[in-house]
């Protein structure tokens, strides 16, 4: 069993509340637009971190982390990418890969819109944790916690951070 903290679009700001909410997580996954290595350092100090670079991340971060990450967590295959879309509207940059070899879990960011949706056609749970930084137009800043037990997802928590 692994408890996962999922976030995206920090844009160089890591709300201290995130460290509290993710303190018991076994892993943290950042779906891009990190903004700085300081954010990465703070998250890595808390738990093992998986990161993809987003469109605002510099070339140094892109070289270090890349734009797509595919891996296994427990018995679940995960695909992590910043710009990904959602069921019925996947971004062209990832659509072919999703259709050819669908993961059980697809995590993306970019839109700043919290969305958790199951794609029945692909058998894929799609999670966009929304944005948790202050940069952007979102009305709420959100993060997600998810537990993975073998090949099952449990305890999916959406956490809204106060915007003040």
Alpha helices in 8-143 (DSSP H): 16-21, 37-44, 59-65, 92-100
Question: What residues have CB less than 8 Å from 41, skipping those under 6 apart?
Answer: none
What pTM did the predictor assign? 0.96
What are the φ and ψ backbone dihedral angles of 116, each rounded to 5 degrees? -125, 115
**What percentage of the chain's residues is helix, strand, coil (to nearest 5)?**
20, 40, 45
Q: Would you place residue 164 in the very low, low, confident or very high pLDDT band (cuts 50, 70, 90)?
A: very low
What percent of the chain has a predicted confidence (pLDDT) above 90? Answer: 94
In the numeric block, the tokens 């920090």 are attached to 10
Query: Hey, how many other C-beta atoms are within 10 angstroms of the C-beta on 69?
Result: 18
């Amino acid at each position: 069993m692994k408890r996962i903290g999922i976030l995206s679009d920090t844009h160089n700001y890591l709300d201290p509340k995130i460290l509290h909410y993710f303190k018991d997580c076994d892993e943290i996954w950042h779906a891009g637009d990190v903004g700085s290595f300081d954010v990465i350092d703070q998250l890595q100090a808390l738990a093992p971190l998986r990161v993809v670079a987003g469109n605002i991340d510099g070339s140094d971060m892109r070289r270090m982390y890349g734009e797509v990450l595919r891996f296994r967590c427990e018995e679940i295959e995960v695909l992590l990418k910043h710009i990904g879309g959602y069921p019925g509207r996947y971004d062209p940059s990832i659509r072919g890969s999703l259709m050819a070899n669908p993961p059980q879990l697809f995590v993306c960011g970019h839109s700043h819109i919290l969305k958790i949706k199951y794609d029945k056609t692909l058998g894929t749970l799609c999670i966009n944790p929304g944005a948790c930084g202050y940069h952007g137009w979102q009305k709420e800043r959100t993060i997600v916690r998810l537990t993975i037990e073998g090949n099952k997802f449990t305890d999916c928590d959406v956490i809204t951070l106060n915007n003040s």
